[in-house]
Structure 1
């Protein structure tokens, strides 16, 4: 989320003179990539799921044609994944797509008692199931119900083999338009060149080589035996099929920038610091509940020498100026594509031996309309992983949005994690303001 130099517009989608879609499916008949195969292995069968909050009442009949002209520009959204007997691998096969098979519009009671809880439960139920494999592996749900922060909710679900979070974000933004200019595509962040790339001297190269060696050793050790401490947020075995609660919390991006500037750090530093502080508060409370009948937030219940690691996802392909900096894991998986099962097993071991996933990416600075509906927030995350907790942070206009994806048996109170994250941000902000006040005096 750091080193943002500016924004550049997305490229427009090309259409023929008569306005009809013109799609050449270059993937038709091609095998899935090694990484896409891994996403079908047990413990790595992942789905990207995202939530759009709409500022206006959702009109499904208005949204569907825009979906056709947006999502379906990517041929994988109109392709099946079929088993090829000759190669023994899955391959893409183009198919006629009926949008009504993928767009779900349930009839809802507009006077229900708790719309927010209904939406949370609805999404949780989605995380307990897979998309029907006899059709392209995606669907979209339009929930025409007013919640506390939106007039309606759009939920999309896409199998991770279709694309990663970055490519799907780019595609979803391509389906959107600026609110300020309905004909214009939203801008995407452009990243500055890495200081490591600029300072490619001997010591920088040596540091890169050393860190790479350490990373490889830790990866191998984690896949074989190195496990995190069993804590209240560490998942037990085989939780990947359990339901997950997905909670969204918006905070003020200006508060994050205030802390960033005052401490001369990056936005990533602030997000990670807030996340560490929030998780510390949450873990301390959970340990306190195990020890005291009436735990005190002022008392430290945390045991010493906790090993708690997060898997941090880094984009490996150029997107909006982001450079390829750490292709080791991808190249490793590609090098063993002759046995996807081995790659899937190693992935599962690394995932299950660590505690949580973490991801933060910059979003667009423009207010956008998705499929003709002005968006108040968007919240991408995923499910299907053998970890109990994922924290995702994404920026949108003047908001920083925390998305918690929590396995509901291990973490029964994910709203509390959001509360602790928000409170930690406020405490850090208050400390910064107090320090500035002292300097001014």
Structure 2
């Protein structure tokens, strides 16, 4: 229940507290596993807030994004559906290397064949890491680690806006992807928070922290196709559910003199992971175990993966123009999740010209979670400033 007095004193905090309280309440299994909570009072960002809680067994984030896009209208012209995000440049899986034409020569063909050798080697290595993580390989115990796996405490979900233009500026300056920039900014923000809170100044100390990067396994055109089917009254043919794979991604806790090193290392790590079938392997492994040994065994594998790593990381592309829902303009979208055996999860979601960073944290371990949000804002600012200097230096050279 909402505290009326608290709403009057600090409506933003009242919304945050209400959302945190939902993480302590189980869903009613006698009803459909989704809920709408309308908090009809103004905050600093909106005139009202809609909180949608959906059980993860029904859908993943990409499916929910499909439903959102198909249920909204363009705020600029409500008679039209919203514009869809642009299709990615690639058409196949992230690990696919296009075959060179025969005119490219024998060297290009040999390098193409070598890419399959690397693909096999990297896949075997990543599969071994995944299996060892399930069995015994744990992250270093730090202030980010979950301190009570057996009694999962309330999650507080907080969020902040970042400039998508700033993210794209860094992307262009470093010749990488938006995802590379967000991964690098996450590493930089967690590093700032870690060194400030721990007082640890041993930069050479080995700290093994890993994030579980969630990857959508649908075809690159799936979002556009599904939204079109829903809008054309063929929604019953759309398969929602969960079609996810996972990448176990190292988190770099470091103090770099050049902040762009966070982006460089993130790009190198993600590029290396793209030359692997780890995403497909983790998905198939969980599915096979689930079908052979039952859902509890499948859930156990996923639970162990999250228990032995430190954080979850996801990034989704949202609407590219402002949308409205049932005649009400949507000011921001802040997707997250709770119930995982981790003390902190990081989610990014773009909407028009902003990127919303959303943290779901154990409120006992992170009572200062808003300071961590400040670290994300400051990290992007520092990295962008370094990218501007990097660009001006290249022009002079």
**TM-score interval, normalised by the smaller of the two chains:** 0.7 to 0.9
CA drift of 1:166 comes to 0.7
Q: Does 1:400 align with 2:355?
A: yes
Q: Tell me the TM-score normalised to structure 2 length.
A: 0.77
Note the 1:87-236 alignment, pairs <5 A. 108=4, 112-189=8-85, 190-193=87-90, 194=92, 196-200=95-99, 201-236=112-147
Q: Which residue of 2 aligns with 1:373?
A: 328
- By percentage of residues, which structure has more helix? 2
> How many residues in Structure 1 have an aligned counterpart in Structure 2?
327
What CA RMSD, in Å, does the superposition of the two structures yield over aligned residues?
2.3
Q: Is the 8 A contact 2:88 2:220 kept in 1?
A: no
Aligned-partner Cα distance in 2 for 1:191–1:232: 37
For the Cα contact (< 8 Å) 2:2–2:18, is it kept in 1?
Answer: no
The 1:241–1:110 alpha-carbon spacing in structure 2 relative to 1, beyond 3 Å, is: closer
- Conserved? CA contact 2:40–2:48, under 8 Å: yes
- SS of 1:359's partner is strand
- Which secondary structure state, in structure 2, belongs to the residue aligned with residue 172 of structure 1? helix
**How far 1:370 moved relative to its partner?**
1.9
Q: Which secondary structure state, in structure 1, belongs to the residue aligned with residue 120 of structure 2?
A: helix
| Structure-1 residue corresponding to 2:214 | 313
Aligned positions of 1:8-87 closer than 5 A = none
Deviation at 1:118, TM superposition (A): 0.5
Check conservation: 1:188, 1:320, Cα contact below 8 A. no
> Is residue 239–residue 407 contact of structure 1 (8 Å, CA) maintained in 2?
no
Q: CA deviation at 1:218?
A: 0.8
Describe the SS at the equivalent of 2:69.
Answer: helix
Assess if the C-alpha contact under 8 Å between 1:246 and 1:405 holds in 2: yes
5+ residue gaps in structure 1?
A: 1-104, 292-299
Q: Alpha-carbon deviations, 1:287-337, whole Å to 9, x = none?
A: 11xx7xxxxxxxx35671100000000011225458997322222222221
Structure 2: unaligned runs, 5 residues or longer: 100-111, 224-242, 246-276
2:149 to 214, 238, 261: 238
Instruction: Return closer, same or farther for 1:440/1:314 CA change in 2, 3 Å cut-off.
Output: closer
Alignment of 1:338 with 2:292, yes or no, is yes
Q: Distance in 2 between matches of 1:377 and 1:264?
A: 29
Name the residue aligned to 1:267: 178
Written as runs of structure 1 = structure 2, the 5 A alignment for 1:255-334 is 255-288=166-199, 300=201, 304-318=205-219, 320-321=221-222, 326-334=279-287
Tell me, in whole angstroms, the C-alpha distance in 2 between the residues paired with 1:257 and 1:146.
32
TM-score (norm: length of structure 1) = 0.70
Contact conserved, 2:74 with 2:81, CA < 8 A, in 1? Answer: yes
Secondary structure in 1 aligned to 2:382?
Answer: helix
